[in-house]
Chains A and B, each alone.
Chain A
């Protein structure tokens, strides 16, 4: 654009629109305004005593913080996978079931109603990480070496995942009676803020440091933008793609731990259901291109919390949880249509025509 057009409200607005923060912030403001006008009680936070006898914060904003954190952790991995492989992993829900089931199996040691933990929680979690990362690597190998489109490749685990999860525990539903295990998905005594939020904060700090001090961002974006030139510059595109899937696997294991800790048990067909849609939506809402390349981690994480905001708003209006995907699908379609190159070109042409008219 020319220099002189930078002044004026119109130019300021068009610059604002081009910012990546624009889409998530607008969505946030719209949702907040809508809830504020419809029912200010939506934002009420109160102090209640939970079943364990701790004073904890309660209210919709806390729920958003709580459940949005799971999504934020997944969004970290999904953003990397999207950037590197130009596709999305639709098996995250099933992989969460696998990781959760495996952690439970390790904790109860095959006895579905054992009263003592079979091994320390941290050991079970680390083993769960290894398993989830292996499944991530499986997806990654299919994508990187066999050149299968990510969504088709992950369709395999999407179908088999919940079956594998049930198989780990012989289709039984182990129950963990240890109280400390429920702290992870609930509240630590004396702390009124849900633990998943702290876990998400840790994950965000880790990924920020990794992106700052390593070349992960540069390499991932290079592979996503042009695989061939990345290879000619001495990168190994296959390894980087697999790495992104493995990192997603790690995120999945963390979410799996939180999910099974919430109920101290597991329900194979319900756990993390439709979460893949939310994770993809978080990435798209963060203004990241779904066809790979440059990415912005901060907006993806914001996107995750906004999705949870949307979910809670829909719940408030008595939308049953099974019907939620229909509304979210509409949001996805709107987002991808808005960010489609053809549509953008059409609108920028329209703007130019209007400017020409103004000038004349």
Chain B
């Protein structure tokens, strides 16, 4: 941020805001919004929000969403979209559940199955989008319906996995040192996170580094920003788009397995609406739908803000089923409009 603020001719906050790049501005808004919200919740709602474990529970419940959102940010930065991630996640949970329980498979192979399914969807959709120039929406909408349909074909009834080595992995808790709290009985309880959170954080770090410091990462931004200029720079646009979808597929494979680790069951309703949550989180995190702008750290905070809002809504007593849907939609709408205004202001 600082290098952009230093221009001398424009003073004051407004000038500073004008000089910030889109990414940094949206990122700053998100991070400030998240902290304000969380602190606000701590002050006004007290209860659970004062306990550190609440924060870690948000992480535990949304580890999969973090991974999926990273994938979506990648394709969105490239100027494309993928709305099949929720369906693919459901398909992965069902396939892994059937494999582990009904076929008595082992955990390592189930991870490979998850990755293979994700990669297959990514490769197929990527090929159609990149090499045949078909609108990514139609392709991935078809992908979403295909995945959901396939899930019921694999097995139509939801069931919990009872495979022992899997449940052991699922219940593994990693203690976070120094973040514990004293419960009502006066006993010190350690704060914990699940394995999925570690995976999600690793994904965030790897993707952040990839986007910032590798040739491929810069190519993603270039293609999303302006296809013509990217071509003139000698970037293979088609290959870049394909790779973005492939990576998103891989990440939905990882995200699907992380979801499976958290929920421990296979069901068609798993991750219902995850595509929308992931898109919303990416947008909140400052990724532009028009492509070329975005930041994985922003996406990470986007997921946190998005899920914190939901937590606040439920703790505030609005826990009827419909409020969740409506709040999510309102948040997405709000951020879409903010983005659109930021974009149009920039053009002037």
Contacts and interface: CB of A to CB of B under 8 A. Distances in A.
B333 A142 contact: yes
Interface string A159-175: 11011101100010000
B123 interface: no
Contacts of B330: 160
Given A325-B148, A329-B142, A329-B143, 7 more contacts: A153-B336, A155-B279, A156-B329, A167-B322, A291-B135, A323-B150, A333-B139
A151 B132 contact: no
A310 B323 CA distance: 37
Interface residues of B, number: 45
Contact of A329 (B145, B321, B324, B325): B145
A146 B141 CA distance: 23
Contacts of B323: 163
Contacts of B321: 163, 166, 171
Interface of B: 81, 83, 128, 131-135, 137-139, 141-143, 145-146, 148-150, 152-153, 156, 268, 273, 276, 279, 289, 320-326, 328-330, 332-333, 336-337, 340-341, 343-344
A323 B146 contact: no
A159 B276 contact: yes
Best-surrounded residue of B83, B143, B149, B152 (most CB of chain A within 10 A): B149
A142 B341 CA distance: 12
> What are the nearest 9 A-B pairs in CB distance?
A326-B149, A163-B325, A160-B329, A163-B322, A325-B145, A329-B146, A146-B340, A322-B152, A329-B142
A332 B252 CA distance: 22
A324 interface: yes
A15 interface: no
A342 B153 contact: no
Contacts of B320: 171
B326 A326 contact: no
A159 to B, nearest CB: 5
Contacts, number: 136
A152 B142 contact: no
* Chain A interface category by residue count: 35 or more
Best-surrounded residue of B141, B145, B156, B330 (most CB of chain A within 10 A): B145
A337 B326 contact: no
Nearest to A274: B145
A287 interface: no
A152 B275 CA distance: 11
A321 to B, nearest CB: 9
